Amino acid sequence: MPSYKAPVDDMMFLLHEFLEIEKREDLPGFADLTPDMTRAILEGGAKFCEEVLQPLNQIGDEEGCTFENGVVRTPTGFKEAFKQYCEGGWNKLGAPEEVGGADLPSVITFAFSEMGSSSNQAFSMYPGLSSAAYSALWATGEDWMKKHVVSKMVEGEWTGTMCLTEPHCGTDLKLMKTRAVEQEDGTYRLSGTKIFISGGDHDMTDNIIHMVIAKIPGEDGKLADDLSTVNFFMVPKMLIDPETGKITQRNGVSTGSIEKKMGIKGNATCVLNFDEAVAYRLGGRPSTKKTEDGKVVKSKSAGMAGMFGMMNGARMGVGIQGIAVGEVAYQNGVAYANERLAGRSLTGPKNPDGPADPIMVFPDVRRLLLSSRAFVEGARALAFWVSMLFTVARSAKDETERQEAEDISQLMTPIIKAYFTDRGFEAANASMQVFGGHGYIRDHGMEQFVRDARINQVYEGANGIQALDLVGRKMTSKGGRATLTFFGKIDAFIKANENDAEMKPFIEPLRTGYKRMGECAGWLMNNAPKNFDNAGAASYDVMNVFGTVALAFMWAQMAKLSLAKLKEGTGNAEFYNRKLTLARYWMEREIPMTAAWTERAQAGSEGLMELAAANF
């Protein structure tokens, strides 16, 4: 059976040494985050995840969810664990104080989310999606929804979902057929089918609040073939009295089936049918604008900012899942590599009194494990930094700081979602390889990590779409301002440390990667306008370059901090020396990969697009 130990010490290092969050008393939620308080939160969360959620992970995979006579049931222990989760207040960490939450900043809630996903990804998706749903409702809903609906979601009495995908429509939302027709009382009647809805139905709460996107038909009753009439709706499974907040009767929402899927089997992934379901449009009434020639144009779309906010938060959360599965798979790979005896070290026996050496003596086993750990710890640093930027973008007093934080966090979001989930899957696969044949069978749990990790590359926007979003939108937005801002941060760090001899092993590789990042951006600037397929063909390689260099930037900063701590003679010397080893690994083994990606990105689209579809 696999095991898991939450990386509390590494998280403390990032929060209080790398980010120095205790110095950001100017930001809401940070005033009380002393090291003692932060450690108490993290250790409490770690205890719950290790002792309650992790033992249910294999049970959830073995049993899965069941669907019988219209009722969805979760695996053994899930309902009880959800009750403990809510009683412990873990669902309230980031919730607004007005509805009973702790209102802690996202850098803390993402740390706990990682622990939850490492210990039991399928379970953690239920409260994770609920948090995304109530956050969107808090931002866009009416007062009665905040009072009666959000409060119950924060308490854990009700949960929430995101309902976007349809059988014929995934990323291309303009193809949606789900419709919402306005009624005289201001509500809507929503009809259509949504698929792949995580946590779409279950037996853990009395009500589920579905956050749904749908089109409003025109006066002729037809749906537009674009996004102009797409709106955001709250559709409860059970109807709610706006005055009292009490459940009245069943809404027109039913579960058609639950998916039989590769992984995350403990989470009920549902087909939901909406049949004239009562729906509430979010975000107020659509706006009215004047064109340059003075004509008044009435928009038919509202509340979409809330939907996109929910989706971006979910993408960040999925990136955290990539880190999480890499962490837990790595831990189990290391334990096995230190225990499994096979063969002898290439430089002579390291366990001369035993029949063989532990397989940890072999360079290739170390390659598999070091690549995982260097990714996980570098990615965690980047995720924590970006989560801090979210708070800075909303609440910093300085306008320039807010703008920079917003720009960089938007630029990094598709990288965190796509690059992290690709590398997280690779890490799970690498640790399965360490186990050899034992990794392929179910007893050790490694093949479950691989299966669970695989969905992360697909949902909340497949990784190819994220790469295209990076090069087609995020890098070019506002004249490339975000890209230039991020480049400026790296360039300034290089110049500030290039004359430090101890930093040379970290600065020179970072400089190399930074140069290649610039080459990719320059090539896109010159070639994408000539043929948009050039951007599409280059996007995935460019995303890998940006992701690898972004982690190198984190590692260079952590190396500088570790060197300083070792000079001071404070803290755990073994911890800081390990950071330096991992930083060197990333610079020596991962940065060279950017050369190939840069060359491939500049190859253009012809080689990908010239073959006729019929000849594939």
Active site residues: 460
d(CA 522, CA 487): 13
Spatial separation of the C-alpha atoms in residues 592 and 589, rounded to whole Å: 6
Residues linked to residue 274 through DSSP beta bridges, in sequence order: 192, 253
- Residue listed under structure tokens 């994220």: 466
Confirm if 226 and 215 have CB atoms less than 8 A apart.
Answer: no
> Kind of pairing, strands 158-163 and 207-215?
parallel
How far out from the chain centre does Cα 557 lie?
Answer: 23
Residue (of 128, 282, 117, 142) closest to 212 by Cα position: 282
- As a whole number of angstroms, the distance between CA 335 and CA 295 comes to 69
Which residue bears the tokens 């108490």?
A: 40
Q: Per-residue DSSP letters for 54-117?
A: GGGHHHHHHH--EEETTEEEPPTTHHHHHHHHHHTTGGGTTS-GGGT-----HHHHHHHHHHHH
CA distance 79 to 63: 14
Q: What is the CA radius of gyration of the chain?
A: 25
Specify whether the CB–CB gap between 293 and 91 falls below 8 A: no
Q: Are strands 71-73 and 158-163 parallel, antiparallel or unpaired?
A: unpaired
User: Distance between CA 171 and CA 136 in Å, rounded?
Assistant: 20
How far is Cα of residue 451 from the mean position of the Cα atoms in its chain? Answer: 17
CA distance 602 to 134: 43
Residues 555, 582 contacting (CB under 8 angstroms): yes
Report the DSSP beta bridge partners of residue 583: none
Residue whose tokens read 């996004």: 227
Is 268:237 a contact under the CB 8 Å cutoff? no
- The CA distance from 453 to 423, in Å, is 10
Do strands 269-281 and 253-258 pair parallel, antiparallel, or not at all (unpaired)? antiparallel
Please name the residue that has the structure tokens 């397929």. Answer: 533
CA–CA distances in Å: residue 109 to residues 41, 322, 427: 10, 16, 23
Strand ranges (E), 491-599: none
Dihedral sign, Cα of residue 138, residue 144, residue 147, residue 150:
negative
**Looking up tokens 């960089």, which residue turns up?**
408
Under a CB-based contact definition with an 8 Å cutoff, are residues 64 and 54 in contact?
no
Please name the helix (run of DSSP H) or strand (run of DSSP E) that holds residue 250, with its range, or none.
strand 247-250
